[in-house]
């Protein structure tokens, strides 16, 4: 590869009150080709975005489309499987990995927003707290208005996205599209010297379903004949086309040297280009695929998969169908830039009751062509029209739609609109939901309530993706109120009853309760007192409780998923246990807690001698006691293979080696108040370490909690004062698999002062869990060295999916006889995530991109208050002359090489056609990643 010396500079100016002048109405901002993006994706972390590598390569090569990515964080809070970088230094490395992954597809514009990657969670509200919700949306909006994308792709905004960062990244798609087109949102971006204009994204692909039948993966135009199972229009693209990248001589796949790699091959190689995230170099041979995207909102005419008469639509099967009406003209013939979309007076509708549907049309210039608009509704429904289209610049044409009296409830119903002129036509559609006349739903709380409120207040169109599920937890043997909210959606008063169908080991104060004379649009709540009658934790912790609501002439239902979590009373001891790794009966007189339930990674568990799973109680267990103002834990872990031993710098990310995490929610309300684990104490303990200065003994840290960071040894941040740990584990002394790693497990004894927790303990409602992590042989194929990498079996006292991030799913503990000190606060302090995120002004790759495409770093406010008059490099010196209109900081970077994509893998190929970026292997032993990432 040719090496070039490159000099560039960036200046961050700290200015306020910049003068603003209005942009003249006659000169709207238009992005030039260096800035313009056709297809924009948005995700939370590097490696979330790999689904568009192949598609963007095809779109770029065949149709001249330019893709870009908005990346909210750089993933600084994640692990590092191949290096020692953490925090901002890891952010630099992960940013480059993402650029390498996408570079060959032509996606060189990745807009990092510099938001903090704090820790794994399942809460959009918690993510908003850490990301500064309004500022993040402001930055997204500026990037959209500056780059003017036609199409937007990314995560679903629903709770189904799992990770709270993913949920919020999905929400930012919907919010950003709305904000960019709204002149009242961030109006300062529309004024002054660098004024932008509002921008309407044309199509949105966020959260839809691509399930369906038909289509192919073996040929071009691979979505031809595809019929979606749901209401979303689905566009696909074939990745079997030849790319411009060639197979090098001697490649391990045995492909002819100089022959073209398919775009799917390029995509799979790029998908693996994240060594810090435990991904290994791709050495397979890829079969062509047909990645598909489901459209969830459109403001322009498009091609449906199935025509109004039920016949397949060949135009929708084309590999550029996603571009129609946006980056390419729609085949229907309407002028490029025509807006056409459909809205409704109500999204939730009752069978037999009319509502209004409005078709919105806007000409790109001049007036709309004469014609008419006709709606197509489901069989059995009625609608008026067709209606004429006036010769105006824009029009809103309203119809009355009446659903069938027998329309099925709790289902989406599609309504389409076709605008027809003498020479062209345009199609659009949208959906409504048919609901019960009176609907009873379990009363949402926490993240579920917040999501439904977001739908109603911020993004009503996203309601097509579904509301929140009904979720709750109950302690084994305990009683809980179950409120059901009945809403009358109909135009008539309703009366009826709400009933619960109880699973085994549950009772209620009543199974049916009535309601009467509920007015249209009104709510009423009926509450059941539910009791779990079995103090023994069931084999399956999740049980289903159907809720049925009757009304005049019918009924509706939903199902509440109830998680049964374990309970215990923590015994008090008169004499404090000695933290020595031994458990005397007098020290731990309470119940034995079973830690042998698996909540993730069961496929790597081979039985009680491996990961401590035992139906007879002789596997992994724990005991807990209280003495004075401290809790004591004795944890017995059975294991057959001693995993990688961490260095002091690696004593974080406990899931990447054998470890135990102790989780405590002092108030038992962290999920209810939308803070999740940020209001808790979580201590990850490695039973042995590669730390000769500490005798290779245990080390521990806090993770994903109220004050995460190192908690032991020389790197101790002081976030766990008074914690003591003793371990019986002894490191075998090597991370080489050539040394025997067999062992029988270990015992841990831990003291945790209650004063170390984020708030005073509620002795009647302490959230508690203990979760062992079991890693075995983590060496890469063909090597003998163990890695600090997540390949764990995860177990716990309360073993439910993602239990590490959901305090409401932890066990419930009481502390009989305990009263916290009166001066101890009951509200946790603001969380401290300890590791900062990278500032984009310190990333040479981000700076170089901004200089090239003119989009401000991180979507921040641009300034012209610095001018570089001249710059030159000579032996031993740099000459730079600047002029600034205010104070600021200048950061200069000197680099040699290609800034856009610095290779992440070593390659064994001596003849690697550029620009392949080391993503091919010519020897099966090629596995290492490149070091020296800094530029």
- How many CB atoms neighbour CB 8 within 10 A? 17
Angle between helices 88-103 and 263-271 (to 10 degrees): 170
| Cis preceding linkage at 915, omega within 30 | yes
Q: Would you say 873 and 37 are in contact if contact means Cβ atoms under 8 Å apart?
A: no
**Cα separation values, 671 from 666, 676, 750, Å:** 12, 4, 26
Across 362-390, average pLDDT: 96
| Each residue's pLDDT tens digit, 186-204 | 999 999 988 999 999 999 9
CA proximity to 127, closest of 654, 704, 701, 800: 704
Q: Would you say 149 and 184 are in contact if contact means Cβ atoms under 8 Å apart?
A: no
Angle between helices 263-271 and 53-63 (to 10 degrees): 140
Q: Would you say 858 and 113 are in contact if contact means Cβ atoms under 8 Å apart?
A: yes
> pLDDT value at position 790?
86
| Each residue's pLDDT tens digit, 908-922 | 898 776 667 789 999
pLDDT bracket for residue 891 (50, 70, 90): confident
Radius of gyration of the chain from its Cα atoms, rounded to whole angstroms = 30
Across 796-816, average pLDDT: 96
The full DSSP string for 341-393 is EEEES-SEEETT--EEEEEEEE-SSS-PPSEEEEEE--TT-EE---EEEPSSS
Across 420-424, average pLDDT: 97
| Each residue's pLDDT tens digit, 303-360 | 999 999 999 999 999 999 999 999 999 999 999 999 999 999 999 999 999 999 999 9
CA distance 85 to 176: 33
Question: What share of the chain in percent tops pLDDT 70?
Answer: 96
pLDDT bracket for residue 927 (50, 70, 90): low
CA distance 408 to 476: 38
Number of residues that this document lists for the chain: 935
Across 671-689, average pLDDT: 97
CA 162 from centroid of its chain's CA atoms: 6
| Each residue's pLDDT tens digit, 550-574 | 999 899 999 999 999 999 999 999 8
| Each residue's pLDDT tens digit, 634-643 | 999 999 999 9
| Each residue's pLDDT tens digit, 513-559 | 999 999 999 999 999 999 999 989 999 999 999 999 999 989 999 99
CA proximity to 467, closest of 501, 443, 502: 443
Across 65-73, average pLDDT: 98
Q: What are φ and ψ of residue 411, in 5° steps?
A: -135, 150
**Cα separation values, 261 from 16, 57, 58, 264, 900, Å:** 52, 12, 12, 8, 21
| Each residue's pLDDT tens digit, 821-865 | 999 999 999 999 877 899 999 999 999 999 999 999 999 998 888
> pLDDT value at position 878?
86
Across 711-731, average pLDDT: 97
Q: Is the pLDDT of residue 270 over 60?
A: yes
| Each residue's pLDDT tens digit, 224-260 | 999 999 999 999 999 999 999 999 999 999 999 999 9
Q: Is the pLDDT of residue 12 over 70?
A: no
CA distance 79 to 278: 9
Please say whether the dihedral angle defined by the alpha carbons of residues 204, 206, 212 and 215, taken in this order, is positive or negative.
positive
Mean pLDDT rounded to a whole number for the chain:
93
pLDDT bracket for residue 13 (50, 70, 90): very low
Q: Is the pLDDT of residue 930 over 80?
A: no
Q: Is the pLDDT of residue 6 over 80?
A: no
């Amino acid at each position: 590869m040719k090496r070039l010396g490159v000099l560039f500079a960036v200046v961050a100016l700290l200015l306020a009150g910049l003068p603003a002048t209005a942009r003249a109405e006659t000169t709207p901002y238009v992005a030039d080709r260096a800035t313009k993006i056709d297809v924009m994706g948005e995700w939370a972390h590097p490696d979330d975005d790999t689904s568009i590598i192949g598609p963007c390569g095809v779109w770029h090569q065949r149709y001249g489309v330019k893709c870009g990515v908005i990346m909210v964080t750089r993933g600084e809070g994640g692990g590092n499987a191949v290096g020692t970088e953490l925090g901002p230094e890891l952010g630099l490395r992960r940013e480059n990995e993402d650029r390498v992954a996408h570079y060959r597809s032509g996606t060189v514009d990745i807009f990092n927003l510099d938001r903090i990657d704090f820790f794994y969670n399942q809460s959009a509200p918690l993510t908003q707290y850490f990301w500064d919700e309004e500022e993040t949306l402001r930055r997204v909006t500026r990037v959209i208005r500056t780059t003017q994308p036609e199409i937007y792709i990314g995560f679903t905004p629903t709770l189904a996205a799992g990770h709270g960062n993913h949920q919020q990244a999905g929400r930012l798609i919907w919010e950003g599209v709305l904000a960019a087109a709204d002149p009242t949102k961030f109006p300062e971006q529309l004024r002054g010297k660098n004024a932008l204009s509002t921008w309407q994204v044309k199509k949105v692909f966020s959260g839809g379903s691509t399930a369906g039948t038909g289509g192919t993966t073996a040929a071009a135009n691979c979505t031809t004949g595809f019929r979606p199972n749901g209401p979303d229009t689905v566009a696909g693209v074939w990745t079997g086309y030849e790319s411009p990248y060639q197979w090098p001589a001697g490649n391990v796949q045995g492909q002819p040297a100089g022959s073209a790699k398919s775009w799917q091959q390029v995509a799979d190689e790029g998908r693996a280009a994240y060594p810090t995230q435990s991904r290994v170099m791709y050495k397979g041979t890829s079969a062509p695929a047909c990645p598909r995207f489901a459209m969830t909102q459109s403001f322009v005419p498009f091609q449906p998969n199935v025509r109004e008469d039920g016949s397949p639509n060949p135009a929708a099967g084309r590999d550029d169908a996603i571009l129609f009406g946006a980056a390419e003209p729609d085949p229907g013939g309407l002028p490029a830039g025509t807006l056409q979309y459909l809205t409704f007076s109500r999204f939730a509708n009752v069978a037999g009751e009319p509502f209004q549907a409005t078709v919105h049309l806007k000409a790109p210039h001049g007036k709309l062509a004469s014609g008419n608009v006709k709606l197509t509704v489901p069989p059995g429904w009625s609608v008026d029209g067709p209606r004429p289209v006036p010769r105006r610049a824009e029009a809103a044409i309203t119809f009355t739609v009446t659903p069938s009296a027998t329309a099925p409830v709790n289902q989406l119903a599609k309504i389409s609109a076709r605008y027809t002129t003498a020479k062209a036509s345009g199609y659009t559609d949208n959906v409504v939901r048919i609901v019960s006349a009176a609907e009873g739903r379990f009363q949402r709380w926490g993240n579920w309530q917040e999501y439904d409120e977001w739908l109603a207040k911020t993004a009503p169109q996203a309601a097509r993706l579904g509301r929140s599920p009904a979720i709750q937890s109950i302690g084994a043997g305990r009683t809980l109120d179950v409120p059901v909210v009945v809403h009358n959606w109909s135009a008539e008063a309703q009366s009826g009853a709400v009933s619960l169908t109880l699973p085994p080991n549950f009772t209620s104060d009543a199974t049916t309760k009535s309601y009467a004379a509920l007015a249209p649009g009104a709510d009423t709540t009926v509450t059941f007192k539910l009791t779990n009658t079995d103090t023994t934790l069931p084999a399956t912790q999740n049980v289903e409780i159907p809720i049925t609501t009757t009304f005049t002439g019918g009924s509706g239902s939903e199902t509440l998923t109830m998680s049964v979590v374990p309970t215990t009373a923590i015994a008090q001891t008169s004499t404090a246990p000695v933290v020595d790794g031994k458990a005397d009966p007098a020290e731990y007189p309470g119940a034995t807690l079973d830690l042998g339930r698996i909540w993730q990674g069961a496929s790597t568990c081979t039985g009680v001698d491996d990961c401590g799973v035992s139906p007879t109680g002789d596997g992994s267990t724990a005991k807990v006691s209280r003495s004075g103002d401290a809790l004591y834990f004795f944890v017995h872990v059975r294991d057959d293979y001693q995993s990688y031993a961490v260095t002091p710098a690696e004593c974080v990310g406990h899931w990447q080696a054998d470890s135990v995490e102790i989780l405590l929610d002092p108030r038992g309300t962290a999920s209810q108040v939308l803070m999740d684990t940020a209001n808790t104490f979580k201590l990850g303990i490695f039973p042995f370490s590669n730390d000769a200065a500490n005798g290779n003994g245990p080390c521990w840290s806090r993770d994903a909690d109220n004050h995460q960071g190192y908690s032991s040894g020389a790197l101790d941040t002081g976030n766990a004062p008074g914690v003591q740990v003793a371990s019986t584990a002894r490191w075998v002394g090597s991370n080489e698999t050539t040394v025997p790693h067999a062992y029988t497990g270990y015992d841990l004894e831990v003291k945790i002062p209650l004063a170390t927790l984020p708030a005073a303990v509620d002795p009647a409602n302490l959230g508690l869990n203990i979760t062992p992590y079991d890693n075995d042989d983590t060496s890469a194929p063909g090597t003998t060295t163990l890695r600090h990498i997540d390949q764990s079996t995860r177990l716990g006292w309360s073993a439910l999916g993602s239990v590490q991030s959901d305090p409401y799913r932890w066990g419930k503990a009481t502390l009989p006889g305990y009263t916290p000190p009166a001066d101890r606060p009951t509200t946790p302090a603001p969380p401290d995530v300890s590791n900062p995120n990278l500032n984009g002004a310190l990333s040479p790759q981000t700076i170089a991109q901004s200089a090239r495409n003119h989009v401000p770093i991180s979507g921040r406010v641009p300034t012209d208050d610095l001018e570089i008059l001249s710059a030159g490099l000579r032996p031993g010196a740099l000459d730079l002359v600047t002029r600034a209109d205010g104070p600021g900081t200048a950061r200069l970077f000197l680099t040699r090489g290609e800034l856009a994509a610095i290779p992440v893998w070593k390659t064994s190929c001596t003849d690697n056609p550029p620009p392949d970026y080391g993503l091919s292997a010519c020897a099966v032993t090629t596995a290492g990643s490149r070091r020296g990432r800094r530029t």
